[in-house]
Amino acid sequence: MSVTGTGSHAEVLNEGVAGLAGRYDGWILDVWGTIYDGGAVFEGARSVLEALVARGIPVAIMSNSPRQAMVVEERLSGLGLSADLYSVVITSGGETRRHLIDGLDAFHAGLGDRVHTFAPDRFGDILPGTRFALVDDLSDADWILNAGPAGDFDQVDVYEDRLAAAAARDLPMVCANPDLAVYDQGRRKIHAGALAARYEALGGSVRYHGKPHVPVFVRAAELLQLPLERLIMVGDNRDTDIAGAEAAGMASLLLADGIHHERLLKGTDLDISALESFLAEPGAVPTHVAARLSW
C-alpha cells in the first residue's frame, strides 16, 4: 500500500526489505536508530547487512557522528558487525576533518588558525593533525568547531552565553553533527545540531557537514562508485536521513521505530493513520516506510 505525503506517495512495506534488493544498486544505512541505539545491534539490521553482502550489493554506513570513520568502525566491530558487512563508513566528523585539512573550498581555506570548541575532552579527534590551534577562551577564537555539548544531558541553554558572544563577534561555526537529538536506549540527548540551530537563531553563520546536506551523499556515491539515483538511504530521521536523500535525488526508506517512534508506532506496529498525518506535514517524503528494519 502507499500513503500520501506532501505532494508524493510513500510505499509501506509490511514484510521486510527483501523486495527492494533488486531495485537499488547500492544502499546507505544510517547508524543511530537504524543499526543500534547505544545498546546491542538490532538483529533486523544485522540480517539486512548479511543479506545485502551475500548478494554483492555494496553498502555505505553513514553516521552524523562527530568522530572519524575509524571510531565508528571500531564501535561496530565491538558490537559484532565486521567490516566485511559494508564497503565504507562515512562520518560527519571525518568529512569535517577532510575539509579542514585539505581546505576543500574557500570557506574552509579561509578559517583562522584559532578555534574554540564546546567539548574539547569529548570529541577530540577532528583537530589533531590540522593547522588549527584549540583555544580555551572564546574571546581568542577565530571560529567555533561545534561537535556537540560537553555533557551527555546538557541542554542548549547551558551554552547560551557563549553562543550569544560568538554571534556578536560574527564568528563562523563549523557543525560536525547536524543532528538535533537522538534517543539513547530511550533517553533523549541533544546533539550539535541543536546548538547550531540556536546559533543561527542568534544571527550566527553555520557550515554543516553530514546529513541532511547534499555533499555527504555525493561523497557516498563517489566512494561506492554509483550514481545517486541508483542508491537508497535507510534511516529513522525524516529531517536528516530522508530530507538529505530527497535533496540529493535518492530513494529513501524511513524506519518508524527510531526518533519518530512516539508518533508513528502503535505498540510495535506501524500506525497508518499517524503516518498519514505525519507525512502530510511539511517535510521530505520517503520513497518507502517500514515499522523497523528487517529482511
Q: What is the pLDDT along the chain (295 residues), one digit of tens a residue?
A: 776 666 678 999 988 999 999 999 999 999 999 999 888 899 999 999 999 999 999 999 999 999 999 999 999 999 999 999 999 999 999 999 999 999 889 999 999 999 999 998 888 899 999 999 999 999 999 999 999 999 888 999 999 999 999 999 999 999 999 999 877 777 788 899 999 999 999 999 999 999 999 999 999 999 999 999 999 999 999 999 999 999 999 999 999 999 899 999 999 999 999 999 999 999 999 999 999 999 9
Answer whether 2-64+211-290 and 108-208 agree in fold: yes
Distance CA 177, CA 263 (A): 24
pTM for the full predicted model? 0.92
3-state secondary structure of 146: strand
Distance CA 147, CA 117 (A): 7
Phi and psi at residue 248, in whole multiples of 5°?
Answer: -85, -5
Domain boundaries defined on the chain? 2-64+211-290, 108-208
CB atoms within 10 A of CB 268: 10
CB atoms within 10 A of CB 85: 18
3-state secondary structure of 69: helix
How is domain 2-64+211-290 classified at the CATH fold level? Rossmann fold (3.40.50)
Nearest residue to 92 (alpha-carbon basis) of 10, 208, 164, 176: 176
pLDDT of residue 6: 67
pLDDT of residue 153: 86
pLDDT of residue 245: 98
Burial annotation 277-292 (CB, 10 A radius, 16+ → b, else e): ebbeeeebbbbbbbbb
The structural architecture, per CATH, of the domain 108-208 is 3-Layer(aba) Sandwich (3.40)
Nine cell digits for residue 5: 505525503
Give the alpha-carbon dihedral of 270, 89, 118, 115, to 10 degrees.
-150
Contact (Cβ atoms closer than 8 angstroms) between residue 96 and residue 174: yes
Q: Which residues contact 39 (CB under 8 A, 6 or more apart)?
A: 185
